[in-house]
Structure formats: structure tokens, C-alpha cells
């Protein structure tokens, strides 16, 4: 065996004679380091190479073995190094104290070479096993983290792909998706401490809302072009068809859910948003005429985000409204179209909404 692959054993004893005996016993099979004081032992233990095992004399001047052991355990760099106490004390109390502190074994002097070698070998084998398990656990944790990150990225890309699919038929731009997604996140963060919302809007649910928001109008892929792309005002009959996009979107998401063995929370949030983001606080919205708290939280946030963005965006049938005018229209809808608390959060952070709109402006 090459010397640089040998396990490293640190011997700590203030007696040169004892060091010589143990060094001679261990030298053929192990790399041996030695220290004659507690301070020196701590420096060597924390250095390179790091010992795989420490044979520690209990009775030493200055720092005794117990004090050295406690300092080794207090240092993250040395706390996992196994320690065998070596002492001339033959009292059971001393042995119990060492083991209670966390020593892995206890050897009494005068030493018996076969016993020392057997116990050293046993503890090094156990350390190798612990290190292997630690490495395996670290590998598994890294692999789990990698796969979770990969799944998360796949989920986000899939959402964006579906949203972009809807964009190919919808005159609204991709920046609309980015803006409304950011608006929803800002509203959720502002309301997470509100008594009516705090139980629902934790960090995890806010993340679900944010990643699900781009799917709010996915149902528009099911609306005929002559209605979806009509430059003028829709007839009452055409408007009824246009309103079906909410249910078309939620039905598509629900069918996707049914194909899964395990439900995904983000799909549930996406379904709430797609189905009910056109409901109004006073019950005059569509498709189900829900009112007040019967409207899911996710849909209430998206309702305001979607309307604000529609107001500040140019359409074939209207110009883009200035931010202040859009704000005033939102205020007029407080308690009618919008949940009053959601409207208040929008007003309290209006500057943030303007900043988001500017960051993701549509190209001229």
C-alpha cells in the first residue's frame, strides 16, 4: 500500500517513550502523526492531512485529554474524527466519562499491542464505512436536488410553451404574460400578511400562482379566428362564444390532471385562474357568476392584473390608457369588479405596477 493512501493516526501523549512505543506499533500500517501537548494536538488535528483517528492520552499537563476532546468536538473541522482515549487510569468512572463524552473506545496502559491494533483497525473500518455512507448520502442529495431542479425547469418551460401556443392565436403579446405574471406575484406578496389571505398566501402558494399565471388565457386557442381576431366590437352572440375561453382553458388543464397519477398543485392553481379570472366581486362576472370569497384567491388576483394590463395596452379597438387613468378605473371597480383588499394592495404598490409595465413594455 502506498504511503499517501495509508490511514492517518494522530497520537497525543506528553511522554516521548509512549509516543515511541505507539509509533513503532502503528508505523508499518498507518501514517502516524504525534503531538506532546494539547495545543499542538489541536493544530495537527485541524491541519493537512486530517487524521482519520486520534489516540488521546487522558493525563496530560496543561490541557488534559478531556479538554482536548471537547475542543475537537467544538470545531466543525475536527468534530467527526473518532477518538480513542489511552490512559494508565484503570478506574471504571474514567472510562465511562470518556465514553459519555463521545469517545469511540478506551485503552488502558500498559498497552497490549494486539489489542491496540485490533481496536485501531476496527475504528478505522467504521470510519471508512461512515465516510462512504456520508459520500453516498451527499451524492443522493445532490442527485435529488438536480432532478428536482430539472423537473422544476421542465415544468416552467412547459407552462411557457403552452402560453406561447396561445399567443400564436391571441393578438396580445408575450410581454402581456410577463407583466401579468409579475403583477400577480406583487399582489400576492403584498397580501401575504393580510388576515384574509395569510392562511393561503404562503411562499409556496405564491410560487405556484406566479408560475401558473401565464396559463390564464390558454382557452383562447379554442375560440374561432373570426371572433378572436375581430378588429371591431363583438356581437352579443360572438361575445357569448368569446366567454367560453375560460371554461375551455380550465377543461384542458383538468384533462391534463386526469392523465397524472399524482395531482400537481400548480395545475390546480392554473385551473382556478383560467376558469374564474373573469368573475367579479359583485357576482356579475362569468362563467359562473361567483361573488366575493367564493371566487378563488388566485382568480381574484389575476382579475385585477389582467384588467390593469388590458387598460394600459393598445388594442385594435382602443388606445393604451395612461397609468393614472388605468389606476382610476381600477379604483372605480373596488368592491364591484375587484376584491377591495386586492384593490387596496394594488393602490398601495401602484409604483411597482408601473415599474413592471415599463420593464416589459411592448415593442413599438
Count of Cβ atoms closer than 10 Å to residue 211 Cβ: 19
Those residues of the chain that have pLDDT short of 50 are 1-3
115 and 205, same domain (yes or no): no
Closest CA to 162 of 216, 108, 111: 216
The pLDDT assigned to 61 comes to 86
**220 and 329, same domain (yes or no):** yes
Residue 22 inside a domain? The answer is yes
Q: Are residues 58 and 199 in the same domain?
A: no
Phi, psi of 171 (to 5 degrees): -65, -15
- Residue 167, pLDDT score: 67
pLDDT of res. 134:
85
- Alpha carbon of residue 40 to chain centroid: 42
236 and 341 co-located in one domain: yes
Q: What are phi and psi of 150, to 5 degrees?
A: -65, -45
Mark whether 16 and 102 lie in a shared domain.
Answer: yes
Q: What is the pLDDT of residue 158?
A: 65
Q: Which residue, of 99, 120, 140, is where some domain finishes?
A: 140
Contacts for 19 with CB less than 8 Å, ≥ 6 apart: 11, 13, 34, 36
The verdict on 135 and 201 lying in the same domain is: no
Q: Give the end of a domain, one of 119, 140, 161.
A: 140
Residue 163 lies in a domain: no
pLDDT score recorded for residue 89: 63
For residue 246, give its domain range.
169-359
- Let me know: does 86 contact 105? Beta carbons within 8 Å: no
The verdict on 222 and 93 lying in the same domain is: no
* Beta carbons of 14 and 60 less than 8 angstroms apart: yes
Please report the pLDDT score of residue 3 as a whole number: 47
In this prediction, residue 258 carries a pLDDT of 82
Q: Is 111 in the same domain as 181?
A: no
- 158 in any annotated domain: no
| Number of folded domains that form the chain | 2
- Global pTM? 0.61
- Looking at residue 360, what is its pLDDT? 93
Residue 3 CB partners (closer than 8 Å, separation 6+): 31
Residue 130, all three cell numbers: 461512515
Question: CATH number of the domain that 316 lies in?
Answer: 1.10.3210.10
Amino acid at each position: 500500500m502506498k504511503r499517501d493512501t495509508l490511514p492517518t493516526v494522530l497520537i497525543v501523549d506528553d511522554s516521548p517513550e509512549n509516543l515511541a512505543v505507539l509509533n513503532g506499533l502503528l508505523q508499518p500500517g498507518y501514517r502516524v502523526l504525534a503531538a506532546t501537548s494539547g495545543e499542538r494536538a489541536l493544530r495537527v488535528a485541524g491541519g493537512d492531512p486530517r487524521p482519520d483517528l486520534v489516540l488521546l492520552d487522558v493525563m496530560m499537563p496543561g490541557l488534559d485529554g478531556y479538554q482536548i476532546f471537547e475542543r475537537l468536538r467544538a470545531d466543525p473541522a475536527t468534530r467527526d474524527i473518532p477518538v480513542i482515549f489511552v490512559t494508565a487510569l484503570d478506574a471504571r468512572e474514567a472510562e465511562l466519562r470518556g465514553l459519555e463524552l463521545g469517545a469511540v473506545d478506551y485503552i488502558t496502559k500498559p498497552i497490549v499491542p494486539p489489542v491496540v491494533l485490533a481496536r485501531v483497525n476496527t475504528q478505522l473500518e467504521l470510519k471508512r464505512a461512515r465516510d462512504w455512507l456520508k459520500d453516498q448520502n451527499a451524492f443522493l442529495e445532490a442527485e435529488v436536488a438536480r432532478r428536482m431542479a430539472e423537473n422544476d425547469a421542465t415544468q416552467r418551460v412547459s407552462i411557457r410553451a403552452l402560453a406561447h401556443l396561445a399567443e400564436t392565436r391571441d393578438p396580445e403579446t408575450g410581454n402581456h404574460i410577463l407583466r401579468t405574471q409579475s403583477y400577480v406575484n406583487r399582489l400576492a406578496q403584498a397580501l401575504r400578511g393580510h388576515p384574509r389571505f395569510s392562511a393561503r398566501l404562503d411562499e409556496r402558494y405564491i410560487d405556484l400562482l406566479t408560475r401558473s399565471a401565464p396559463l390564464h388565457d390558454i382557452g383562447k386557442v379554442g375560440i374561432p379566428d373570426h371572433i378572436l381576431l375581430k378588429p371591431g366590437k363583438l356581437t352579443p352572440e360572438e361575445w357569448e362564444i368569446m366567454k367560453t375561453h375560460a371554461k375551455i382553458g380550465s377543461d384542458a388543464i383538468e384533462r391534463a390532471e386526469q392523465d397524472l397519477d399524482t395531482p400537481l398543485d400548480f395545475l390546480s392553481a392554473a385551473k382556478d385562474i383560467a376558469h374564474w379570472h373573469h368573475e367579479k366581486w359583485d357576482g356579475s362576472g362569468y362563467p359562473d357568476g361567483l361573488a366575493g370569497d367564493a371566487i378563488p384567491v388566485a382568480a381574484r388576483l389575476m382579475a385585477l392584473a389582467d384588467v390593469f394590463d388590458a387598460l394600459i395596452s393598445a388594442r385594435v379597438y382602443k388606445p393604451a390608457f395612461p397609468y393614472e387613468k388605468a389606476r382610476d378605473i381600477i379604483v372605480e371597480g373596488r368592491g364591484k369588479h375587484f376584491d377591495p383588499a386586492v384593490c387596496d394592495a394594488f393602490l398601495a404598490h401602484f409604483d411597482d405596477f408601473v415599474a413592471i409595465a415599463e420593464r416589459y413594455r411592448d415593442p413599438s
